[in-house]
Amino acid sequence: MRHYSGIDKIIQSFDQGLRSLVPGATSAHRKNPAEDHVSALSIREARHVAGLMRVNHSGEVCAQALYHGQALTAKLPNVKKEMEQAAIEEQDHLAWCEDRLNELESLPSFLNPIWYGLSFTMGAFAGIAGDKYSLGFVAETERQVSLHLEDHIQQLPPQDIRSRKILEQMNEDELHHRDTALEAGGVVLPPPICVIMTTVSKLMTKTSYYI
């Protein structure tokens, strides 16, 4: 197995960040759930759906950063591998959201570099705190993401099957990531940490919808 130096890891992290932030740089490994469906939206509906999908795209940018940061500082090899695998699966979500934004003739959030930097830092510190806390951080993050996805699914126009299929598959994957993290030894985080995470999440969702 190849041994990576500190410089190698920094370069790898920089490359991962670029792939997460540059439009079109990430490709899905799985078929887009919306591929076989058609949705006709009014201009007003399309604008609202674009805002929702922009928020979800930013959430996936944060997820990429979180897993990359945790993989960088994870102590146990199996936890590091778990984080890297989860990041690969999240790439599908990132690509699907970007595809839907393109269809709606809209753009990802201009604030994504900020969200990536904050999430990467939080993930790295979670990894330094210890693998059980790192996994607990993943579980809580995925729980909150699932709540956002369920709310967005309810807000979609009834005829927007394309967006609905994407969000439903994303939610299924996020819940799986949450359960996997808990089964791997993740602990329930202290309430103050969960409150901070919720506050940051709300800030991201409210700003990314518009910007």
Total domains, the chain: 1
What CATH number corresponds to the domain at position 203?
1.20.1260.10
3 is in an annotated binding site: no
Answer yes or no: is 5 within a domain: no
Answer yes or no: is 24 within a domain: no
Answer yes or no: is 125 within a domain: yes
177 is in an annotated binding site: yes
Answer yes or no: is 136 within a domain: yes
pTM across the whole model: 0.81
Answer yes or no: is 82 within a domain: yes
60 is in an annotated binding site: yes
pLDDT tens profile 160-211: 999 999 999 999 988 888 888 888 788 888 788 788 878 888 888 889 888 8
Answer yes or no: is 171 within a domain: yes
Please list the helix, strand and coil fractions of the chain in percent, rounded to the nearest 5, in that order.
75, 0, 25
Answer yes or no: is 83 within a domain: yes
At residue 145, what are phi and psi to the nearest 5 degrees?
-60, -40
174 is in an annotated binding site: yes
Q: 190: domain range?
A: 42-208
pLDDT tens profile 38-86: 778 889 999 999 999 999 999 888 887 887 787 777 666 666 666 667 6
| pLDDT at res. 1 | 47
142 is in an annotated binding site: yes
Answer yes or no: is 60 within a domain: yes
| pLDDT at res. 25 | 62
